[in-house]
Amino acid sequence: MIETVWPWLALMLLCAGVFAAIERRHAWRIFTVVPPIVLTYLLVTALAVSGVWTVTPAIREAQSLLVARLLPVLLFLLMINCDLRAIWKLGPRVLGVFACATTSLLIAFPLAYLIYGRWLPADAWQPLAALSGSWMGGSANMVAVKQAIGMPDSLLAMSLLTDALCYSVWVALLFSIARLAPAFNRWTRAPQRTLEVAESVSTASPTSDAVLLWLGLALFAGVLSSWLGAQLPVGTMISATTWTILLATALGLIAGQTPLARQPGASAISGGLLVFLVAVLASQSNFEGIGQAPLYLLCGLTILVIHAGLMLLAARVFHFDLHLCGIASLANIGGVASAPILAASYSRALVPVGILLALLGYVIGTGLGIVMASVLSTLAPT
């Protein structure tokens, strides 16, 4: 039985790294269905429910402190590899497909909530708002929206479970329809031209000095964001935490346009921090309210159906091809880990497009997730 902070912290780090290490070494098929980050969450949740540690005041304080301090650090590092100039060079057509995908999700979430809201709990808008942050950005945006709206940790399980299962269905569908591209493109009258993007994301291995540099910069950016966020005015949906999140994102974007962005290490550190942060959140989880999971899953699947219908309409009207529609959709719902894989199955020339669109999702996911929280909260029964 663990009752002190350091053994608990060591266990969180081990849990955060074990599945990613297994995936890198063995590439088991399960990882194509359930990503390592979800397996980490499920493992830590199981350990928490099993009573491997007791949530003492010291451990509870450590959990709160780590989430509050590491989230802005994570967002800052995620923004470093987002080259806004490279995204702009993709051209209005690609950005138009991405805008349609994002807009369709902005429409789908409120519609699905209106359909199922009468059967869902009164606070169901919170996990759906957090889910919208993930489906318009990534897992880090989900955590950011959760913190910004003050969602209890116990509700995060609903967001992650819906995200994991619905995401798996959607990825399988997008891969399976790839062979229908010629017929789909004839139906939409999409122009036949090859998209080429010169930029690529650096894959250089980080050195020890680069790791220390990025950690120092990111921690400083997190502290500065927290201090500035505490000085700014707050409201019903804008808190000091919200300002901290938005400021950290802005600082990362600014740093990403400087020569610092060429220094390797930010991507590797942010990937590790993200899984660790999810492990910390999962360490407080329980299965309270799990009986509501089927309704959340049905709501998530409905969102995807509405999203698909609206994307079909947009493709027909604006003559989008299936490849770009699929990449733009997965850049929103799947993020930077899966969008390039789907792009590579279509054409290697589209891999940078998948990466850059997914990074663009990281930029807008938190802000749009907070907007969605405001919309859904107004639709919630009083």
* pLDDT tens for each residue of 68-123: 888 889 888 888 877 666 666 667 888 899 999 999 999 999 999 999 888 888 88
Instruction: Compute φ and ψ for 83, nearest 5 degrees.
Output: -90, 100
Residues 340/358, Cβ–Cβ less than 8 Å? yes
Residue 345 CB-density burial (10 A; 0-12 exposed, 13-18 middle, 19+ buried): middle
Q: Give the least confident one: 7-21, 96-110, 195-209, 349-363.
A: 195-209
Distance CA 282, CA 64 (A): 12
Asked if 329 and 131 count as a contact pair (C-beta separation under 8 A), the reply is no
**Per-residue pLDDT, 373:** 92
Query: Average pLDDT over the chain, rounded to whole?
Result: 83
Which range of 47-61, 75-89, 286-300 scores highest in mean pLDDT? It is: 47-61
- Angle between helix 293-318 and 156-176 (nearest 10): 40
What residue segments make up the domains of the chain, in order of their start?
5-379
- Count Cα neighbours of 54 within 13 Å in the Cβ-side half-sphere: 6
Q: What's the gap between Cα 183 and its chain centre?
A: 32
Q: Report residue 196's pLDDT band, with 50, 70 and 90 as the boundaries.
A: very low
Rounded to whole angstroms, how far apart are CA atoms 292 and 33?
23
Are the CB atoms for 104 and 314 separated by under 8 Å? yes
Q: Range with the lowest mean pLDDT among 33-37, 183-187, 226-230? A: 33-37
Instruction: Identify the pLDDT of residue 31.
Output: 74
Q: Which of 330, 235, 272, 259 is nearest to 74 (CA)?
A: 272
What is the separation of C-alpha 326 from the centre of its chain, rounded to a whole number of angstroms? 17
d(CA 135, CA 369) in angstroms, rounded, equals 9
Which residues does 245 contact at the CB level (< 8 Å), separation at least 6?
71, 72, 75, 144, 147, 148, 225, 229, 366
pTM: 0.69
Give the SS3 label for residue 53: strand
Dist. CA 283–CA 331, nearest whole Å: 29
Q: Both tokens of residue 320?
A: 């989008």
Structure tokens at 350: 């589209």
> How large is the average pLDDT for residues 168-184?
81
Beta-carbon-side half-sphere exposure of residue 308 (alpha carbons within 13 Å): 12
Name the nearest CA neighbour of 264 among 199, 336, 214, 323: 214
pLDDT per position as a tens digit, 267-288: 888 888 888 988 888 887 655 5
Angstrom distance (rounded) from CA 215 to CA 195: 36
State the Cα angle at 311 between 310 and 312, rounded to 5°: 90
